[in-house]
Homo-oligomer: A and B are copies of this chain.
């Protein structure tokens, strides 16, 4: 087996245990990992339109509609008028802002334990490898 195959093998092998554990961590907040990904995006990079979110997450618009509507229902985000009458911008509510802060703190030890025994340098290298693959795959 080539080292490339080995890498992607490991990549995929990690996915389900990781997502399952992450969902356990998020359960107290009534969130699934996909919804959390939206909240994190809004926290890190400010308000986004539905199309922006779709592009960033590499999913389709109807999937965004569902995700955002669920987050609106929970009171974590709100929508407002965009740059024209078609566009809607999604942003965190005051409650959502606080909650994201709290969740980040709650997740922190989970992430640290998951990466226990890995040097900061190797984490950075691995992050860069993943980022590079994203770039290569999306042209």
Contact = CB atoms under 8 A, between A and B. Distances in A.
A17 B8 CA distance: 13
Nearest to A21: B137
Interface in A86-127: 104, 107-108, 111-118, 120, 122-127
Interface SS, A side: helix
A138 interface: yes
A118 B132 contact: yes
A83 interface: no
A126 B3 CA distance: 11
Contact of A124 (B1, B3, B14, B21): B3
B18 A120 contact: no
A7 B58 contact: no
Interface of A: 1-18, 20-21, 33, 37, 40, 44, 57-59, 104, 107-108, 111-118, 120, 122-134, 136-138
23 contacts: A3-B124, A4-B108, A4-B111, A4-B114, A4-B115, A5-B107, A7-B111, A7-B130, A8-B18, A8-B111, A10-B127, A11-B130, A13-B134, A14-B130, A17-B58, A17-B134, A17-B137, A18-B137, A21-B137, A114-B137, A118-B129, A125-B126, A126-B130
